[in-house]
Amino acid sequence: RSRVKQALQGPGGGGGAGPARGPLGLHLPPAMAGRNLGAGPEAGGAEPGRRLGPGMETGPGMDGGLGVEGVPGPGPARRRFYTCRCFYTDNIFLEEFRLHVSRATPVQELRAMLRNKGCKTEEQFEGVQAKIDGEVQRRRSLGRASVERAAIISARYKPLNPAVYVLQESFLAPEFRAIVAYCRSEDADFEGLLDRIQSLPAQRVYSLPVFTLDFCAQLLEELDNFQRSGLPAGRPNTMNNHGVLLNELGFDERFVTTLREDYLHPITSILYPDCGGLGLDSHKAFVVKYATHQDRDLSFHYDNAEVTLNLSLGKDFSDGNLYFGDMRQDAVSGGESVEVPHQPGYGLLHRGQHCHGALPIAGGERCNLIVWMRSSQLRNHQCPMCDRQPQLEHADGYGDGFTGPPSPDHRPHPGNNCSLT
């Protein structure tokens, strides 16, 4: 716990997707303090009258069986997805100051923020402004650059093991297959699922075996082979510098989408019905790498997701545990963070708005597979990053999970607001 406290008391806060104010006072933009996450009606996947997470029960008013607009198993080829305009200007992480800023922040306010973090000279400030402008331009070109990289990889890369690109049941731990089978059964409920997975000290964070160790080793071998190829790879997110975007390698449709729709959806429908778990219709998936000579840790943050799967693929490493604090909307209320160990082959499921970080790795290398799962019906009403109705811009693939403006007659269900306790 002292290591967690030390990490949280660092100079500012950060995140893979957005900043957070930790229990010990990390930075949170004023517009985010005390905000709740508006929730739209969920898409289906649960039996009527079936008991789900705390305080939730499906009934005639909640859809069952089909995805958004009656389309089963939606994917990027079936619907157009969008990005909220805030992605291009907000939550810009300044690594040297461990601080998130917005391009729209008034100059004098930005000067004051940076001065408190040690930015004293005009030359330093101009350098920071140049970094902010450069990051805005980088984000503007991300979609085009990702498509170009994917085309290069498709044309030039020779996979070491093509079989790993298509999800097979043999890759899955027997315990995970049994958990999914239970969740698909008619008598599945929240209490029964908790008997089959591990509930961790951090609230509504769960651990469960997902992949076999043999498959983890095969996937790591494939990723190492790609790294040795020298072909271009995009940054996993706005904070991690080392890793790979799985869609660029060709894992999206026949691996990650299958994992989300066929295996994770039955579980999230029961664990997180109030936070989008019933209607997770898109994702962003990537692998991050931690090493003593590269990214050693990850600052306190929240994810651009309704539900996150964080799965340890392994390699030999020491330390580097995850830690969880409050929900983003409660992050000003105080409280302690909880350190959570991570073991190869196991995945952690948590709400995307649950603030968390990764402690420094002490030795070796650690690779984690991350899947940010998103519900368009939830985020179409309110962007989870800027807390406003999203200002939509066209995007490639799944974008950031938005599918369009909410229907005028589609109002958030009063029972579906994301629980903050």
Q: Decide if pLDDT at 25 tops 50.
A: no
Please count the CA atoms within 13 angstroms of the CA of 397 that sit on its side-chain side: 23
Tokens of 353: 């708005």
pLDDT band at 240 (very low <50, low <70, confident <90, very high): low
- Using N-to-C axis directions, what is the helix angle for 122-140 and 142-156, rounded to 10°? 60
**10-24, 253-267, 309-323: lowest mean pLDDT where?**
10-24
> In this structure, what token pair is assigned to residue 407?
């229907």
Across residues 124-144, what is the average pLDDT? 88
CA-closest candidate to residue 205, choices 347, 42, 16: 347
Q: What is the pLDDT of residues 331-379, one digit of tens each?
A: 544 457 788 788 899 999 999 888 877 777 666 677 899 999 999 999 9
Q: What number of CA atoms fall less than 13 Å from residue 33's CA on the CB side?
A: 12
H helix runs in 67-164, sequence order: 107-115, 122-140, 142-156
pLDDT value of position 78 = 63
Using pLDDT thresholds of 50, 70 and 90, give the confidence band for residue 27: very low
**Looking at residue 256, what is its pLDDT?**
97
Q: Can you read off the two tokens belonging to residue 399?
A: 């974008």
Contacts of 40 (CB under 8 A, 6+ apart): 375, 377, 378, 379, 380, 381, 406, 410, 412, 413, 416
Alpha helices (H) in 157-249, listed in sequence order: 174-184, 190-194, 213-229, 246-249
pLDDT in tens, 211-229: 999 999 999 999 999 999 9
Query: Hey, is 146 helix, strand or coil?
Result: helix
pLDDT tens digits, 78-110: 689 999 999 998 888 887 787 878 888 888 888
Average pLDDT, the chain: 77
Compute φ and ψ for 199, nearest 5 degrees.
-90, 120
Please give the DSSP secondary-structure letter assigned to residue 242.
S
Distance CA 421, CA 415 (A): 14
CB 20 within 8 A of CB 91: no
Bigger pLDDT: 34 or 18? 18
Q: Using the 8-state DSSP alphabet, how is residue 287 labeled? A: E
- Distance of alpha carbon 176 from the chain centroid: 21
pLDDT grade for 315, boundaries at 50, 70 and 90:
low
